[in-house]
Structure 1
Amino acid sequence: MRRPAKLALADGTVFEGTAFGAEGEVYGEVVFNTSMTGYQEILTDPSYNGQIVTMTYPLIGNYGINSGDAESGRVALRGFVVRELCEEPSNYRSEQTLDEYLRAAGVIGLQGIDTRALVRRIRVHGAMTGVLSTTDLDDSSLVRKAQESPQLVGHDLVRDVMPDSSQEWAEPLSDFFHYPVTPPAWSGAADSSDEPHVVAIDFGMKWNIPRHLRDMGCRVTVVPGTLGADEILAHNPDGIFLSNGPGDPRPLEYAIRTIQELVEQKPVFGICLGVQLLGLAMGGEIFKLKFGHRGANQPVLDKRTGKVEITTQNHGFALSADSLPDNVEVTHLNLNDNTVEGIRHKERPVFGVQYHPEASAGPHDSHYLFGEFRNLLQPVT
């Protein structure tokens, strides 16, 4: 039985379609992702906390859902919008349908709308707050709710998705990957008796990140993003990793203070929100992008080598290049809009990228970054 549902934007636009997944009503920042596949990874990426995600590819759900492709233990986004839902997936790894998955997760899905029109509106007017509902179908009521709902800017969304306590990452080495686990940047063999120890500060970390660190021959301890520098250093790390995460980095003053202390003492590598926090800690400034970068086809230039990487991205904020101090250089640029995609400290072993090198967009264009971090921890001779 078809269930009606509506998405109302704060600018007064209303889209009517049919619901899948759960019943109810949610608000969030409405954004879009241009990936053709990877919808389960998107659903379970904690960086989407606080957002309603629209997929630009028209058919979603065709290969189902399986337990091996999750990037976290929960569905983090607030709502999911597609042009057409595939109700009968065909894949030998499929364990359940997308509809069943979202229903169990308590997340509302919307299908049957003109997603091209929705994405065009976001591109022209910018990402904005919306309300997705299966219970209230009155246009004026939904628009009013969207206009009155809190915006994403200025709120700490990290505390909703970070872990409660510290723990060692225990997933076995090399069981997950289908590519060689020794990128050119690191030529040594992992020695379990002398593994460099990485403390990964979890602001909403994707599971594929500690998997890569493990495959680089590192022991990984995951800690909550609220831990102070003294508590982190008590783990005796050889290096610090700063994870991805949701929302505006500027309210995370506790994390910025911690990173300011850590960069003085240890090698540091940050990804996505992690590089934004790193840039703020080193004196840079952040601005909000009009509609963000979300997809698996973003071209990035490595200024050091002149090579172009095809990358996966998911962020709505960026570092301002002009705000960075003289001792921090921009190493990577987005070729679509020339925004900062990577930075490096000129004097300390500290660097980060805005995109996701643990993903497989290129498919393996950016894996060298984990090798560079590994060499900072314990150079191989």
Structure 2
Amino acid sequence: MDNTAIGSFDGLDLLASSVLVFDGQGCIRYANAAAEDLFKTSLKSLINQKLTDLFINGEELQNLFEQALQYQFSDKRQDFVLERVGFEPLQVHTTFTVLDNPITPVLIEMRENVKQIKQDREDRMLDHSQANKELIRNLAHEIKNPLGGIRGAAQLLELELPERDAKELREYTQVIIKEADRLQTLVDRLLAPHRYPHIVSDVNIHEVCERVRSLIMAEFPRGLTIQRDYDLSIPDFRGDLEQLIQSVLNIAHNAAQALSERIEQGDAELIFKTRILRQVTVAKVRYRLALDLHIIDNGPGIPSDIVDRIFFPLVSGRDGGSGLGLTLAQTFVQQHLGVIECESRPGYTDFRVLIPLP
């Protein structure tokens, strides 16, 4: 390996995109730091590998490399989904560039196709959401009728208890009744989004945020600061005010509960931020304008093992949570043709509500 040739590319380490430089035999002679991060391996491991060694489906990349060697183009751009053993597929936008260098004649630049990744993630979320809604609705209806029978039977049994054993045995019948009531409440919450009509009126998103802010501050009067960063030019839009208040409240309340340790320390923070997005795609439909509402907290973050499932029914990141608050929030926002997205890491969690505007 010619270290002089390698050293001549050191300036590429400053680039955010991944860069691979190849010799005439198709072996990697240089990879920048971004490439090491993208492929989750070291420069030492990448050196002398070929495209067909790196990727299961590297033949198409190899064909383009050979075309570049033959000067069939000076540069070429193309999107790929690159498959690797033991890793998630990589969606990348690639640029092949022919270099005026006989030792290292070809450079490939790769950038993760963030837009496509986001679209695929949104598509999966919508598909899962629809399937979950149907499953939960059907399951809730199946549970509802037997619950009524169990509760009624426990009440009748309580009336028939012998007087001498009534007090002791009533504890057991009361457990049955109370648990049946608890499950009934859970079922009612599962069915709530489908039970009530959509009440449409003019909605001001800042009125929604202020209502939620007052409710959260009433419950957490000390140790929590709620910052407001509003774009007051956002117009009113047609929607269900109560549903949107409930959606934002569910998100903000979850955040406040996750901030319990910081509230005790006195440095807990929530941020309500509103903006307008232009030319945005939501649920595969392109809109000229959309509301972009962020609810941001400085809490511990959502556990990595559930962050992709946080909107699924009965998935909760805290002990004692029902796992329905975010599911209901997502359902209500989807009824406004919108979507809720989430980005989370320790010290920063951002729930983003996108709703199309007229």
For the aligned pair, the TM-score class normalised by the smaller chain equals: under 0.3
Larger relative contact order (CA 8 Å, sep ≥ 6): 1
- TM-score (norm. length: structure 1): 0.23
Q: Which has the higher strand share?
A: 1
Q: Which has the higher helix share?
A: 2
Larger radius of gyration: 2
